Amino acid sequence: MSERLQPGDVAPAFTLPDADGTEISLSAHKGRKVIIYFYPAALTPGCTKQACDFTDNLALLATAGYDVIGISPDTPEKLAKFREKESLKVTLLADPDKKVTESYGAYGEKKNYGKTYMGVIRSTIIVDEDGKVERALYNVRATGHVAKIIKDLGI
């Protein structure tokens, strides 16, 4: 199980392919705040709701100085289908080997219907302009989470 990040930690650097196969790095966002959210799977009900909520609030978040990146273990091809089907505007990155997900503490033991298994822990990490963790939220709910972030950040 990976270590969870704490406020003040340096956010782990990463470069991952987006839905079009273009490599995107965290370092490209230096000087802006970044909301990085980890979700289990594209095209599933909860993950779709969360991605649509971020898309619906993207302009508000961008005006407040935040970029939004969603990361899942899906392939770029599946992310492209997800983006097209749901008209998503957030940047979606593919982490099929889960190395970045693990480095952010968003992969570990989960429980569902009494079974314990390893999987992506729905998490949101907010990184400041200097690349440090401002907030680290783990085991978040798909529904209502974006509204809570906006409220908590005072946007």
Q: Provide the annotated active-site residues.
A: 47
Are 75 and 95 spatial neighbours (Cβ–Cβ below 8 Å)? no
Can you say how many angstroms the Cα of residue 7 is from the centroid of all Cα atoms in its chain?
17
The C-alpha angle 125, 78, 89, rounded to 5 degrees, equals 55
- Tally of CB atoms within 10 A around 124: 24
